[in-house]
């Protein structure tokens, strides 16, 4: 059962890694505004018409 020393230590280290990730995330400022992103993600991306034309022409060239 002495392996429990190792197991617990490893799990604590993993937990600390997650904690550091939390600190980093908060520092980056993404939690300062928690409402606007919820609205922002609902906006549809519009397909740019010019991009479509370009891909069409390159396809033709390869054929």
Partner 1 sequence: MDTSHCFHCGLDIVKADEIIFDEKHFCCNGCKTVYEIFSLNDMSCYYDFQKSPGASPLDIKGKYDFLDNEKIVDKLLDFNEDKTQIVSLNIPHIHCSSCIWILENLHRLQHAISYSQVNFHEKKVRITFNPGLTSLKDIVYLLSSIGYEPYISLENYETGKTNIDRSLTYKLGVAFFCFGNIMLLSFPEYFEVSEFWLDQYRGFFRWLIFALALPSFFYSASGYYVAAYKSLRTGMLNIEIPIALGIIVMFIRSTVDIVFGYGPGFFDSLTGLVFFMLLGKMFQIKTYSFLSFERDYKSYFPVAVTKINTDTKESSIPIYEVEKGDRLLIRNQELIPCDGILITAKAEIDYSFVTGEAVPIVKKSGDKIFAGGRQIGKIIEMEVLLSVSQSYLTQLWSNKVFQKDVEQKYKTITDKISRYFTPILLLIAMVGFAYWIFIDINTAFNVFTAVLIVACPCALALTAPFTLGNVLRILGSQKFYLKNAVVIEQLAKVDTIVFDKTGTITTSKQTSITYEGVVFSNHNLTLIKNVLRGSNHPLSRMLYDFLPETSRLAIHEFDEFPGKGIYAVTNGSTVRIGSASFVGKKQPLHLEQTAVHITIDGLYFGKYIFHNQYREGLEQLFKELGQRYELKVLSGDNEGERQVLERLLPNGSQLIFNQKPEQKLEFIKYLQEQGKNVMMVGDGLNDAGALAQSNVGISISENVNVFSPACDAILDAGEFYRLGYFMRLSQKAITTIKMSFTLSLLYNVVGLSFALSGNLLPLVAAIIMPLSTVTIVSFVTLMSNFYAKKIKGI
Binding mask 3-32 for partner 1 (x = CB under 8 A): -xx--x---x--x---x--xx--xx-x-xx
- Nearer to partner 1 by Cβ, of 39 and 63: the residue is 39
Residue with token string 């939390």: 22
Q: Supply the minimum distance, in Å, between the C-beta of residue 1 and partner 1.
A: 5
Instruction: Give percent helix, percent strand, percent coil of the chain, each to the nearest 5.
Output: 70, 0, 30
Tokens of 3: 């392996």
Residue ranges binding partner 1 (CB under 8 A) = 1, 4-5, 8, 12, 15, 19, 22-23, 26-27, 29, 31-33, 35-36, 39-40, 42-44, 46
């Amino acid at each position: 059962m002495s392996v429990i020393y190792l197991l617990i230590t490893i799990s604590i280290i993993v937990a600390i890694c997650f904690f550091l990730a939390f600190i980093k995330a908060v520092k980056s400022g993404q939690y300062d505004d928690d409402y606007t992103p919820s609205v922002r993600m609902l906006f549809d991306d519009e397909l740019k018409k010019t991009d479509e034309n370009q891909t069409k022409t390159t396809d033709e060239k390869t054929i």
